[in-house]
Amino acid sequence: MCQDKLRRSVCSQRSGIGPLRVQTVLTWSLFVGRVHGVRGLYLGLRSKLTQMILTAALMFVCYEKISDLVFTVMLLEPSNAHAHAHKTL
């Protein structure tokens, strides 16, 4: 949540909307802690974890599909098939 607040404040400062203040993660963490309590520091964690888990699952599926394709292609190469035929005779 603090990083999101910092990004928004930097964007508003660049566009001239808000006052130019130096804000750090520590100052935002203290502010959120005072306003929302310790629980407020973890407000955006659920959506970020969901995003990370879905991204990891998609990457894993893609990796498995690509590795299956590569191994299938490697086994069907003529040089491998020819060498395999000689071993069985």
Q: What is the mean pLDDT of residues 41-68?
A: 93
CA distances from 4 to 9, 14, 84, 89 (A): 9, 16, 58, 67
List, for residues 20-47, the tens digit of each pLDDT value. Answer: 455 788 888 888 889 988 888 888 888 9
- Tokens in use for 80? 């491998």
Q: Rounded to whole angstroms, how far apart are CA atoms 79 and 89?
A: 16
Check pLDDT > 60 for residue 54.
yes
Q: Is the pLDDT of residue 53 over 90?
A: yes
Residue for token pair 């190469």: 77
Task: Taking residues 51-73, report their average pLDDT.
Answer: 94
Query: How far is Cα 75 from Cα 61, in angstroms, rounded to an integer?
Result: 21
The pLDDT assigned to 1 comes to: 55
CA–CA distance from 27 to each of 1, 10, 77, 79 (Å)?
A: 12, 14, 61, 65
